[in-house]
Amino acid sequence: LTSPEDVAVRHFLDSWMMLPLIDELFPDKKGLRLIDVGTGAGFPGLPLKIARPDMSLVLLDSLQKRVNFLKQAAAVAGAENVECIHGRAEEAGRRSGYRDSFDIAAARAVASLPELCEYCLPFVRTGGFFIAMKGDSSEEANQARKAIHLLSGKLEDIKEFTLPGTDMKRSFIVIRKTGSTPQAYPRKAGKPHASPLL
């Protein structure tokens, strides 16, 4: 994407489409704690933080170069209470202070849903939510049923929509965390991709 219009619609607006869902899931809560797993250039985390300054945000990416950029971007945007961390989800998901501690884990088209569940659900507190941003979602949701169950989750909802100003189909797959993540997960780095929980 090169034009400002495309970036505005396909990155920023796409990220902001999550805001009504967050309001629905947490109607009265301020100061939510959100982690954006495999954030890349900061989507959806940074746009959500700009819209909701009271949110506590962690941006996680496995490339140090991206993390350096994210620190600069957050500073330029004037976003406070943003932590940019370099690491793999499989390792960060076992760290004290991150594991079982976020209201929301979000991921945008990072991997298949069974993989994403293993990357993201370990971060979510009991009663919180993992929100996967996807295109077509029905088949992936079915493929991830075993992973969702093993990782102490429950498929709560699938919100489908068309990205405004485009004909692009989008969906949010909403998974509620029902209990603590079993200690066996996440598995070692690379294992969720090589051998997803199908």
- CA 11 to chain centroid, in Å, comes to 14
* Token digits of residue 43: 């989507």
Instruction: Determine the average pLDDT of the residues in 53-81.
Output: 96
Task: Give the pLDDT band (50/70/90) at residue 150.
Answer: very high
Assess whether pLDDT exceeds 80 at residue 136: no
Per-residue confidence band for 1, with pLDDT thresholds at 50, 70 and 90: confident
What sections of 11-134 are H helices per DSSP?
14-16, 19-25, 45-51, 64-76, 89-92, 113-120
Residue at token pair 């971007």: 73
Has this prediction a pTM greater than 0.85?
Answer: yes
pLDDT at position 89 is 97
In the chain, alpha helices (H) = 4-7, 14-16, 19-25, 45-51, 64-76, 89-92, 113-120, 138-143, 145-150, 191-194
**Average pLDDT across the chain, whole number:** 95
The answer, yes or no, to whether the previous bond of 44 is cis (omega within 30 of 0) is: yes
How far apart, in whole angstroms, are the C-alpha atoms of residue 177 and residue 151? 8
pLDDT at 196: 96
